Structure 1
Amino acid sequence: MKKVIFFSILPIMLVLSACFSDPIQDDLMDYVNKEMLTAFELEATAVSAYDQVSGINYSDDITMYDALVSTVIPTYNEFIKELNSVPIETSELREIHEIYIKGADLQYNAFVKIVRALETQDPLLIEEANGMLEEARSLLREYQNEIDKLAEEHNVDWEEKDSSTSSI
């Protein structure tokens, strides 16, 4: 008798649980925990390689050029391909993801412009590329803020990573 009651209530429970499902929350969880893992790794690899030869770590043009051509640009290109192939179910998350793609494309083009500047020794191209990098960083911050806001609106809590292991 208990089995009959349980099996007759089980479909009702499944239907009710589906009614309370939040598709944006589900999509966001899948996006961060599954779909974006490869992209996040590729981005971290490319940005880390760039950071090792730029800013306070800059040593000379040849070292920067070699890093950009051999590691940064090819890896960042793979990252962009991965970003463009991520399946997203909801328009809310898709809209935010497009900000990420726009920022990543801009950053990629800045890296390519730096290579061209190094090849031609054109300081104006370096200035343009630096402006592009700043705009890309702004878009990437906007993406992060929008993802955080969407997560908060849909009750998704992020696990904080140990900042000592973060490359950025």
Structure 2
Amino acid sequence: MRKLLLFILVASFMFLFGCSAFLPKEEPTTPVTSEQQPPKAEETKDTPNVTKPTEPAISNSNEDLADAFSNYLDDIVVLAPEEERLIGLYDSVTGVNYVDDETMYYTLVDEVLPGYRQFVIDLEAIMPKNQEIRDLHETYIDAANIQYNAFAIMIAALEEQDSNKMTEANQGLDEARQLIRDWLYGVEDLSSKTGVSLE
């Protein structure tokens, strides 16, 4: 279920921004290696009695991170269908589905913008306790806020028939896309680091 909803979330973002392929999984797993090295160094410096207490602490720390990450994914998965719906509405009046400015305008004003504002509020309500996950989540929040603002600028561009504002809105969508890409890489990294499957 989690895999399906994360797939929907990723596909929605990629579809919105015209991407045709998913991100390559080329990120190294050095964070895992760097965490594993310090305990080995301690083992060579310290007596075996000192090493024994540190091993469970590291294990518990990894388990805590894995639990926190799993809970975070569960929270994100709950919001994925609403974001997919909103992006689907946006897509239904843009690109090849564009009919006219009026249809696009009222869809953005009546449905996409208010719905996406609530989505951002719900996204901001997720407050992970783990700092690493919190930092990752802030990237997603930043992307969602930039995307929300891009929708608002797009509405203003339609009202004023201003091509410069439409360009600004599209630049905002591009910036949001890059942040979402960064967030997705971070999710993949944490999945590798914690062993929490995205499937």
Counterpart residue type for residue 139 of structure 1? L
Aligned partners of 1:113 and 1:125 also within 8 Å: yes
| Count of aligned residue pairs for this structure pair | 143
1:134 aligns with 2:174: yes
| SS of 2:99 mapped into structure 1 | coil
Aligned partners of 1:42 and 1:78 also within 8 Å: no
Specify which of 6, 27, 39 is matched with residue 68 of structure 2.
27
Aligned partners of 1:45 and 1:75 also within 8 Å: no
C-alpha distance in 2, partners of 1:18/1:77?
A: 41
| SS of 1:36 mapped into structure 2 | helix
Aligned partners of 1:80 and 1:101 also within 8 Å: yes
Specify which of 77, 80, 92 is matched with residue 37 of structure 1.
77
CA drift at 1:151 = 1.1
Residue 147 of structure 2 corresponds to: 107
Aligned partners of 1:25 and 1:154 also within 8 Å: yes
1:59 aligns with 2:117: no
CA drift at 1:19 = 7.4
| SS of 1:89 mapped into structure 2 | coil
C-alpha distance in 1, partners of 2:191/2:58?
A: 20
Specify which of 88, 96, 119 is matched with residue 128 of structure 2.
88
Residue 152 of structure 1 corresponds to: 192
Structure 1 residue runs without a partner (length 5+): 1-16, 160-168
Q: 4+ runs of 1 displaced by more than 6 Å? A: none
Residue 165 of structure 2 corresponds to: 125
- In structure 2, the CA distance between the partners of 1:139 and 1:19, relative to structure 1 (3 Å rule), is closer
Structure 2 residue runs without a partner (length 5+): 1-55
| SS of 1:86 mapped into structure 2 | coil
Residue 69 of structure 1 corresponds to: 109
CA drift at 1:141 = 1.1
| SS of 2:93 mapped into structure 1 | coil
Provide the TM-score with structure 1 as the length reference: 0.80
C-alpha distance in 1, partners of 2:81/2:119?
A: 8
Higher relative contact order (CA 8 A, sep 6+): 2
CA drift at 1:126 = 0.3
